[in-house]
Structure 1
């Protein structure tokens, strides 16, 4: 049995060996339920590996003319998007 410490925010770190065995990666969701004084955690869903083409169409450039990825400045687009939302 492994013992971990609860942070002041109520967070715990799942030991790496357990994360590996269960395939828990950043973004995975866990379901918790209480049974007496026992907390049960179940992996709700596991994220499938992503591919570059999965992001197709997420970023749109409305500027005229033919564009290439080399012309695109992600940081600038994020700043402009943040300004548009403000």
Structure 2
């Protein structure tokens, strides 16, 4: 357990070991929750928004001809992988 001192502005410094373990970096948002006479603090995890173009090239197909994503059947591909591994 680490002990820190609250400043005149109500600020505290989170010990480095805790920051590193929880991945808390400058700009990380923290959620404070009162539990009886204790405070629970949790880092808020955000999901970065991406655009579809960011995934361009992740799916590839070695078969000739024009293919569309709507032609892709995930279940069929998984069966093919299972058959190859058997």
Superposition TM-score tier, normalisation by shorter sequence = 0.5 to 0.7
Sort the Cα spacing of 1:32 and 1:40 in 2 relative to 1 into closer, same or farther, 3 A. same
The equivalent of 1:45 in structure 2 is: 45
The equivalent of 1:12 in structure 2 is: 12
Q: Gaps spanning 5+ residues in structure 1: where?
A: 49-86
Alpha-carbon separation, structure 1, partners of 2:46 and 2:40: 17
Deviation at 1:46, TM superposition (A): 5.6
Alpha-carbon separation, structure 2, partners of 1:8 and 1:47: 34
User: Does residue 1:26 correspond to 2:26, yes or no?
Assistant: yes
Deviation at 1:2, TM superposition (A): 0.6
Sort the Cα spacing of 1:46 and 1:22 in 2 relative to 1 into closer, same or farther, 3 A. farther
How many residue pairs align between the two structures? 48
Q: Gaps spanning 5+ residues in structure 2: where?
A: 49-86
Alpha-carbon separation, structure 2, partners of 1:41 and 1:16: 15
Sort the Cα spacing of 1:10 and 1:47 in 2 relative to 1 into closer, same or farther, 3 A. farther
Please provide the CA RMSD for this pair. Answer: 1.7
Of the two, which has the highest radius of gyration?
2
Normalising to structure 2: TM-score of the pair? 0.52
Higher relative contact order (CA 8 A, sep 6+): 1
Alpha-carbon separation, structure 2, partners of 1:37 and 1:2: 18
